[in-house]
Amino acid sequence: MPKPIIILIDDEPEVLQAVERDVRRRYGKEYRVMKAISGHEGLSLLQQIGVRGEVVALFLSDHRMPKMNGIEFLKEAEAIFPAAKRVLLTAYADSSAAIQAINDIKLDYYLMKPWDPPEDLLYPVIDDLLSDWQANNRSPFGGIRVVGQRWSSYSHAIKDFLGRNGVPYQWIDLEHAEGQRLVQLSGIATPRLPLVLFPDGQMLENPLPVQIAEKIGRRTQADRSFYDLVIIGGGPAGLAAAVYGASEGLSTVLIEREAPGGQAGTSSRIENYLGFPTGLSGADLSRRAVSQALRFGVEMLAPQEVVKLRIEDPYRVITLADGTEITCHALVIATGVSYRTLNVPGIEQLTGLGVYYGASLSEARSYQDEDITIVGGANSAGQAALYFSRYARSVTILIRGSSLTKSMSYYLINEIERQPNITVRTHTQVKEVQGTERLEQLVIENSETGERETIPMSALFIFIGAMPHTDWLNGIIERDSQGFIVSGSDLIHDGKRPKGWTLERNPYLLETNIPGIFVAGDARSRSIKRVASSVGEGAIAVQFVHQYLSNV
């Protein structure tokens, strides 16, 4: 495949030459650097590139140009190469126009002139944007192919696993000629679908996620039997704890039962996270955090599940699902939460066949020009509704309350109100799901009037409540009535320390009733269910781990 392309646009030849010099010096080995002297010349160049089947990774355009300014050019360029990253080069006086362009054309970044030294002012920005582009680039590749049936819970599980782990793959429906051809070439008369084909020619029939993980080189077994710090859960809290633990010299292993990122990793867009004015997806946040953790030497096991905990003072011992035991000085539990199941007739047999818990972003394109329903009124539901509205003909949000204001952020409510194909129905619940081989229709009820209605529906996405993954801690770690882990001062009742506490001091903030075992993120009782809060708790937990270890 030819190299991806970086396009430079500026009407001042000397400036254009300087930009080209700096960009080519840094990126010339991996990218083709091309330039144009005006917006119109740039569009003509893009048409030629498109005809040749090549791909543009990034645009860097000056703003003040005659006939067509930089914002106008980038808006036109997006229609030709929508996945390319877009950077505007501006003077200080144009900064307000650049900020407005973030909202109007979803500009990725703007840079002030001059950008010297490029090592400080240019390269870090472009490095980050190109890294994002590489992670999401959909250019043709000889990667993993998955052959299966659309209305199959097994196919959905494999697509969801690959998608959440950031593994590029090509989905091929068995009903299409290419799917039938690949099945025929496999030499298996009646393969158990989905059939996963790898670039080296090997294939797996209806594999477990752990089989795929091992095949693509993901770590599922620990290198050692003892660590300073074990972190259970790879969501924002767990990843933050891993970064801070390993960067401060602790031998650290993180164990995640599904995919790094946790529930936040399925978010289509997080727009209120500090430092990202254009927002970022949960997958991008997870990818960045995983790369950072690995750089500091964190061992990351996924998919792998912890099923048992026992205390052998001064050590804590965990048992994995495969029977392996890992011992540590300190433990951080960051297992997060999952969505509660919807208990209505017909739903169990249709889960994965049009009924999904969480965002299931891997399924979004499958519902192009179809009707879908989302149950729930929290931020995750709102983010999913906005994402699916790009593809679906209509998106209906069902909530039991009178409005979204009680549970959803203001910025999301405003964006939802601006989308013509999103409808919010208040005081409404799903009472039954119906279908034979897949979801076909919903029975919904208005709780105020008692009126029931049957509506045709292609998909149902459920975002209700939060259920912690803590049952395996029963009898050891103190939990509240809903299963969330109690920590810190909440463990002290009438001046008495909790059962299992063996030290003279009181538990630290985020420390459980067992010394040296901490909790962070959504699994903690009375936690704030926000990504930034989870990241903060993960970082803080490590500081208390150090205090604990210094006194052991």
Number of domains in the chain: 4
User: Do 28 and 68 fall within a single domain?
Assistant: yes
Q: Residue 339 carries which DSSP code?
A: P
pLDDT value of residue 484: 97
Last residue of a domain, one of 99, 114, 136: 136
Same domain? 131 vs 13:
yes
**CA 342 remoteness from chain centre:** 23
- The residue among 73, 103, 136 that closes a domain is 136
pLDDT at residue 12 in the model: 92
> Are 121 and 263 found together in one domain?
no
**Shared domain check, 121 and 19:** yes
Residue 308 CB-density burial (10 A; 0-12 exposed, 13-18 middle, 19+ buried): middle
Cα gap 147→361, rounded to integer Å: 18
pLDDT digits (tens, 9 = 90+) for 50-106: 757 678 999 999 988 888 998 899 999 988 888 899 998 887 767 777 788 787 778
Is 163 inside a domain boundary?
yes
Does a structural domain hold residue 220? no
Spans in the chain with pLDDT lower than 70:
1, 51, 53, 93, 138-142, 359-360
In this structure, is residue 455 part of a structural domain? Answer: yes
127 shares a domain with 77:
yes
Take residue 366 and report the two structure tokens written for it: 């499958």
User: What stretch of H or E contains 211?
Assistant: helix 209-215
pLDDT of residue 1: 62
Shared domain for 179 and 261, answered yes or no, is: no
pLDDT given at position 85: 94
Q: What is the pLDDT of residues 438-478, one digit of tens each?
A: 999 999 999 999 999 999 999 999 999 779 999 999 999 99
Which is it for strands 422-425 and 394-398: parallel, antiparallel or unpaired? parallel
Residue 126 is assigned to a structural domain of this protein: yes
Cβ-count burial of 407 within 10 angstroms (0-12 exposed, 13-18 middle, 19+ buried)? middle
Same domain, 17 and 121: yes
238: left (phi over 0), alpha (psi -120 to 50) or beta: alpha
Domain assignment of residue 386, yes or no: yes
d(CA 43, CA 73): 8
- CA dist 215 → 144, 197, 207, 329, 517 (Å): 11, 11, 11, 32, 33
Say yes or no: 358 and 314 in one domain: no
- Say whether both 499 and 446 belong to one domain: no
pLDDT at res. 139: 56
**Which residue, 85, 83, 82, 110, is CA-closest to 96?**
110
Q: Is residue 357 assigned to a domain? A: yes
| Structural domain boundaries enclosing 153 | 144-215
CATH code of the domain covering residue 176: 3.40.30.10
Pairing of strands 195-197, 203-205: antiparallel
pLDDT, residue 48, reads 80
Q: Are residues 119 and 38 in the same domain?
A: yes
Of 429, 462, 495, the residue at which a domain comes to its end is: 462
What residue has token string 């679908």? 193
pLDDT of residue 294: 95
Q: Is residue 453 part of a domain?
A: yes
Domain-located, residue 545: yes
pLDDT at 541: 98
In this prediction the pTM is 0.78
Residue 111: what pLDDT?
A: 86
* CATH assignment of the domain containing 238: 3.50.50.60
Q: CATH number, domain at 100?
A: 3.40.50.2300
Tell me the DSSP string of 243-273: HHHHHTT--EEEE-SS-TTGGGGG-S-B-SS
According to DSSP, the β-strands at 195-197 and 144-148 are antiparallel
The reply to whether 17 and 127 lie within a common domain is yes
Question: From the DSSP assignment, how many helices (H) and strands (E) are in the chain?
Answer: 15, 26
Is 186 exposed, middle or buried, given 0-12, 13-18 or 19+ CB atoms closer than 10 A?
A: middle
Same domain assignment for residues 148 and 172: yes
